Amino acid sequence: MYYIRVQATDNVLDTGNSEPLVSLASATFVYDIQHPTATIAVPVNNEYYNGSSQPLPSISGAALDEGLISRVDSVVFSIRETGTGLYWDYNASTFNSAGELFNNMNFIAGPDVWASTRPALTDGYNYELRLQATDLATNAQPLGSFTNFTYDISSPTTRITLPVDGAKLISLPTISGTVSDSIGLGGIETVELAIRVDTGTWYSGVSETFDAGGETFFTAKTTNSYQTWFATGIPFVSGHEYWVKSRSTDKATNEEDNFVVSVNTITFTFDSDKPESRVTFPDGTEVRSTISQITGTASDGKAGVDRVYVSVGQLVGLTTSYFNGAGFNAATEYFNLTNWSGSDPWTYNTAIPYASGLKYMLRSYAVDEAGNVETALPAQIEVYYDVTKPTTTIYEPGQASFISAMSQVKGTAYDKTAEVESLLA
């Protein structure tokens, strides 16, 4: 700071008349060629803001001129949309200016704070902001770099892609899915999962078992910046149904709270137990002259039986051939798809060219809806097919003989396959 005092003397001859010292004109002034500096306090560089948990009601900062608050005359700000490059126009109340426009900020007494209400921001947009201070000597701060921030008031959305809703599975090494957000994948903070078993307990990511009493979320993993997410190592147990929910939180702290079946909530059945089946007709205890169809039963623990197959073998001498839907043309055991309605019995109605006097071997296997295949196949049912009539002969009395008395008739009876059941004379 400088102090100036001026004394005047007139041009009267000899000594001249000088102004008395007590009445001299004086002034103080500050010589200032340094510019002030304004810094942004809010928003924080590269931060995310929303309308509730992490709001941005105003823009604020501090300004000093050579360490003094009092020498700052004004602070202004400019803000532009990063995507469009347009600046906020205060008079038009919109982002419409291709050139940089500055808006006044107000000084708040007490702390060194300059503030202004923010303009109307658009969800999912990125913005660039900078301040410029001017001191009382009209030195203006050179324009510096922008502070970058994102305004995001929309919640992210997850989708479970594996397993699909209603799936019945033998194994599930990985649960996986995708996530999206209005500002892109760069705005995703976390994806979480909650899994409940039909016994009522929830999976804990801490104990890594189903021992939590209430809904419990654990963090999913990603190796590609959330292009996909996944969870592995869940100890699923055969014979149970599971319910899975996914949710995401973005960097603006918006948390997904809208849950839709087949999108971010799914159920599936875990079943690694194999189904069982058997042939019930023919049952192998009779020789049959008609076999209009083959029938049987099938059962499974949790997933349910999906389909049943039956094989029909024909023994000729020492050679067995199998029916393949058209004839006994298969040299190895061949299974044909039966009719299965979801409940017993299953049936096989295709016309089979049985040959009289031959032995047939029947057995089945089932596949459940999870894809488990019955491997411990039941023993083959053996049945003889016989449409040949039995034959008889009489040898007493002899043909064309003459007898005076007859106490009995003797003869033979023969059937190749079924044996003779009764005789009438």
Instruction: Give the pLDDT mean for 291-313.
Output: 96
pLDDT exceeds cutoff 50 at 420:
no
Residues 142 and 216 placed together within one structural domain of the fold = no
Residue 289 class from Cβ within 10 Å (0-12 exposed, 13-18 middle, 19+ buried)? middle
pLDDT exceeds cutoff 50 at 415:
yes
Q: Are 238 and 268 in contact (CB under 8 A)?
A: no
Q: Are 244 and 195 in contact (CB under 8 A)?
A: yes
**Helix/strand/coil (H/E/C) assignment for every residue in the chain:** CEEEEECCECCCCCCCCECCHHHCEEEEECCCCCCCEEEEEECCCCEEECCCCCCCCEEEEEEEECCECCCEEEEEEEEEECCCCCEEECCCCEEEECCCCCEECEEECCCCEEEEECCCCCCCEEEEEEEEEEECCCCECCCCCCEEEEECCCCCEEEEEECCCCEEECCCCEEEEEEECCCCHHHEEEEEEEEEECCCCEEECCCCEEEECCCCCEECECCCCCCCEEEECCCCCCCEEEEEEEEEEECCCCECCCCCECCCEEEEEECCCCCEEEEEECCCCCEECCCCCEEEEEECCCCCEEEEEEEEEEEECCEEEEECCCCEEECCCCEEECECCCCCCEEECCCCCCCCCEEEEEEEEEEECCCCECCCCCCCEEEEECCCCCEEEEEECCCCCCCCCCCCCEEEEECCCCCCCCCCC
Burial readout 157-182 (b: 16 or more C-beta within 10 A, e: otherwise): bbebebbeeebbbbebeebbbbbebb
The boundaries of the domain holding residue 308 are 276-385
Nearest to 43 by CA among 163, 195, 150: 150
Is 156 inside a domain boundary? no
Residues 247 and 177 placed together within one structural domain of the fold = yes
**Per-residue CA distances from 258 to 147, 158, 308, 350 (Å):** 33, 10, 42, 52
Is 226 inside a domain boundary? yes
Q: Parallel, antiparallel, or unpaired for β 305-316 and 319-323?
A: antiparallel
pLDDT exceeds cutoff 60 at 421:
no
Is 160 inside a domain boundary? no
Both tokens of 350, joined, read 């295709």
Low-confidence winner among 126-130, 206-210, 259-263, 386-390 (lowest mean pLDDT)? 386-390
pLDDT exceeds cutoff 90 at 80:
yes
CA separation for the pair 20, 68 (Å, rounded): 37
* Residue 389: predicted pLDDT: 80
Q: How confident is the model at residue 108 (pLDDT cuts 50, 70, 90)?
A: confident
> Residues 319-344: pLDDT tens digits?
999 999 999 999 999 999 999 999 99
Is 167 inside a domain boundary? no
Instruction: Give the pLDDT mean for 23-38.
Output: 78
Residues 406 and 367 placed together within one structural domain of the fold = no
Is 3 inside a domain boundary? no
Q: Are 119 and 70 in contact (CB under 8 A)?
A: no
> Residue with structure tokens 């913005």?
127
Residues 381 and 366 placed together within one structural domain of the fold = yes
Residues 373 and 413 placed together within one structural domain of the fold = no
* Residue 401: predicted pLDDT: 75
Domain count, the chain: 4
Q: The pTM is what?
A: 0.78
Residues 226 and 321 placed together within one structural domain of the fold = no
- How confident is the prediction for the chain on average, in pLDDT? 91
* Residue 423: predicted pLDDT: 46
Q: Of 269, 296, 311, which residue constitutes the final position of a domain? A: 269
Both tokens of 64, joined, read 């000093």
CA separation for the pair 175, 161 (Å, rounded): 8
Is 309 inside a domain boundary? yes
CA separation for the pair 142, 64 (Å, rounded): 14
CA separation for the pair 417, 402 (Å, rounded): 36
Both tokens of 256, joined, read 């997904």
Nearest to 263 by CA among 159, 155, 156: 159
> Residue with structure tokens 């510019």?
35
pLDDT exceeds cutoff 80 at 123:
yes
- CATH number of 179's domain: 2.60.40
Burial readout 31-41 (b: 16 or more C-beta within 10 A, e: otherwise): ebeebbbbebe
CA separation for the pair 141, 364 (Å, rounded): 89
Is 22 inside a domain boundary? no
- Which amino acid, one-letter code, is at 349? N
Backbone angles phi, psi at 22, to 5 degrees: -70, -20
Residues 377 and 405 placed together within one structural domain of the fold = no
What percent of the chain has a predicted confidence (pLDDT) above 90?
79
Q: How confident is the model at residue 32 (pLDDT cuts 50, 70, 90)?
A: confident
- CATH number of 99's domain: 2.60.40.650
* Residue 149: predicted pLDDT: 97
Residues 186 and 97 placed together within one structural domain of the fold = no
CA-only gyration radius of the chain, Å: 48
